[in-house]
């Protein structure tokens, strides 16, 4: 096992690292589950490790304005092993934490992604990585706030703060990678044998941003439900509200949304050969909500306008001429997350603060034409900085990286066909599906919600599959998954690499993965 190098060697390393612009000061405290952690006193048996840890503050790191380090021997999460906790601030306000295990290090590094608009360190993910022996890191991406709060993007003068948006979109991720690499090298005497990115939602987008902008940064990237296509999918979050306001003048009743979802599942459940209350590939489902018109529900009679609203939510945003803008929710997905009485916060903040740059903006004034204009404006303003949809992954491939993407078909926040769209554009750009499959694979997961949960096979180890791929070369054609069905019975199922889907063989036990084959028919 690698051990920390002496303090004098740490100082020597500092001489060959680019100096920062000024004297370091203590970083701004951040909320942490380790606030009551015990730090080793100078006369304790672990004082040598504490000295090694403390020595990290002597490193000069480019653009770093503050750095602290302490040896944590216990904490409120008492199952954490001993580790050196390093807190770094990169100019102007990118907070990064790097945790370096002392005795349990597995010679690997795992960075943890954030969610929503970020605004905080992903401590829970870091703790899990630490328990598994990884050196680990996370960043607040350059601003402090709740994950649904997009106000950081609006400067005091009422214009977009493009510097903070860029920090959020990509610069913080590159700084995290560079800072972590330097600290791992200094503490253990050499860089990690393997480096991984692990993220879902915004964390998935962050992983793809690194594959596109820092292709040599990671050996393996796990990108779950990635929030790519940001400039289009984020404004599309408001589409259900626009449709309901235009067609009904109010929100549609929740029981009508549930009735439409249940009817779509009834109609399309058996397409994969087994009835399990999950539509495995919703693109094959063409259920028409118009067939429900006249049906009685606890919310009243199902009307033509109700059917039009639900069809529009499934179709996704369209122009006044009916041209495609972006994808909609897949049939079978719970609709209430986006078709609630109030808009989804991230989509609302994007329109108010990012596009209109007006905190008092009333989305009710948009209508169809205003929505289309706002959608186009979002593309014009933010595509280059945060779309994260560059399909040319040749540099990442050539650097030896492996990318594993996954997306739940019942994702109620990030439209799953956006991930398919991106993967297919990667294939088109590089010109050969077989070549792409050598370094990048996508798994569409039936019946799974945003980043997990749902009636489908929601339990699976995508990160483990990525590590095995990187370190042994074994390509993940399938990933073993399990779940609890609508009847409460446990089942297993293979997840198939896109474009294949799991199809029942018609003979075996439908609760067992062995009864399914991956087919691309």
Q: Which residues are catalytic?
A: 201, 411, 450
List the beta bridge partners of residue 404: 222, 441
Centre a 10 Å sphere on the Cβ of residue 238 and count the other Cβ atoms it contains. Answer: 24
List the beta bridge partners of residue 503: 517
Residue 162's H or E segment, with its range, is helix 162-166
Three-state SS across 15-73? CCCCCCCCCCCCCCCCCCCCCCCEECCCCCCCHHHHHHHHHHHHCCCCCEEEEEEEEEE
Residue among 168, 237, 206 at smallest CA distance from 375: 237
286/278 Cα distance (integer angstroms)? 15
Tokens of 26: 């203590």
Angle between helices 7-14 and 47-54 (to 10 degrees): 10
Contact criterion met (CB below 8 Å) for 329 and 236: no
Beta strands in 307-415, from DSSP E residues, in sequence order:
402-408
Beta strands in 115-241, from DSSP E residues, in sequence order:
135-139, 194-200, 220-224
- Neighbour-count burial for 435-471, b at 16+ CB within 10 Å, e otherwise: ebeebbbbbbbbbbbbbeebbbbbebebbebbbebbe
Cis peptide upstream of residue 499 (ω within 30 degrees of 0): yes
DSSP code, position 291:
G
Please state the φ and ψ torsions of residue 232, each to the nearest 5 degrees: -115, -45
């Amino acid at each position: 096992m690698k051990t920390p190098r002496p303090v004098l060697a740490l100082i020597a390393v500092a001489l060959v690292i680019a100096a920062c612009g000024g004297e370091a000061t203590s970083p701004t405290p951040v909320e942490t589950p380790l606030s009551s952690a015990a730090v080793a006193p100078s006369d304790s048996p672990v004082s040598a490790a504490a000295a090694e840890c403390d020595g990290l503050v002597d490193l000069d790191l480019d653009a770093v304005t503050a750095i602290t380090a302490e040896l944590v021997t216990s904490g409120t999460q008492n199952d954490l092993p001993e580790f050196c906790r390093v807190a770094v601030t990169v100019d102007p306000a990118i907070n990064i934490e790097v945790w370096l295990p002392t005795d349990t290090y597995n010679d690997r590094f795992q960075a943890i992604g954030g969610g929503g608009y970020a605004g905080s360190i992903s401590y829970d993910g870091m703790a899990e990585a630490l328990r598994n022996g990884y050196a680990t890191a996370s960043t607040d991406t350059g601003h402090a706030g709740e994950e649904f709060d997009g106000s950081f993007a609006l400067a005091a003068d009422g214009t977009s703060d493009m510097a903070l948006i860029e920090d959020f979109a990509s610069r913080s991720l590159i700084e995290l990678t560079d800072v972590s690499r330097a600290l791992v090298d200094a503490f253990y005497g050499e860089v990690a044998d393997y480096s991984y990115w692990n993220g879902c939602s915004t964390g998935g987008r962050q992983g793809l941003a690194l594959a596109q902008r820092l292709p040599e940064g990671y050996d393996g990237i796990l990108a779950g439900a990635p929030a790519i296509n940001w400039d289009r999918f984020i404004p599309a979050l408001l589409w259900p509200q626009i449709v309901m306001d235009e067609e009904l003048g109010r929100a549609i009743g929740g029981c009508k949304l549930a009735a439409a979802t249940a009817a779509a599942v009834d109609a399309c459940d058996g397409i994969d050969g087994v009835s399990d209350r999950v539509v495995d590939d919703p693109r094959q489902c063409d259920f028409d909500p118009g067939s429900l018109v006249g049906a009685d529900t606890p919310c009243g009679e199902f009307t033509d306008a109700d059917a039009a609203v639900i069809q529009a939510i499934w179709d996704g945003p369209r122009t006044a001429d009916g041209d495609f803008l972006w994808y909609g929710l897949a049939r079978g997905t719970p609709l209430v997350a986006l078709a609630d009485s109030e808009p989804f916060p991230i989509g609302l903040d994007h329109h108010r603060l990012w596009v209109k740059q007006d905190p008092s903006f009333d989305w009710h004034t948009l209508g169809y034409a205003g929505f289309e204009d706002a959608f186009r404006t979002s593309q014009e303003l933010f595509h280059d900085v945060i779309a994260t949809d560059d399909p040319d992954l040749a540099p990442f491939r050539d650097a030896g990286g492996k990318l594993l993407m996954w997306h739940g078909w019942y994702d109620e926040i990030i439209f799953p066909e956006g991930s398919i769209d991106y993967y297919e554009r990667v294939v088109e750009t590089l010109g050969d599906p077989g070549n792409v499959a050598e370094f990048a694979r996508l798994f569409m997961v039936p019946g799974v919600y945003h980043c997990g949960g749902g009636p489908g096979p929601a339990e699976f180890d995508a990160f483990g599959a990525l590590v095995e791929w990187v370190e042994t070369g074994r390509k993940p054609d399938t990933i073993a998954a399990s779940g609890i069905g609508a009847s409460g019975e446990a089942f297993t199922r293979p997840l198939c690499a896109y474009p294949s889907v799991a199809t029942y063989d018609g003979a075996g036990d439908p609760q067992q993965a062995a009864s399914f084959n991956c087919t691309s028919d």
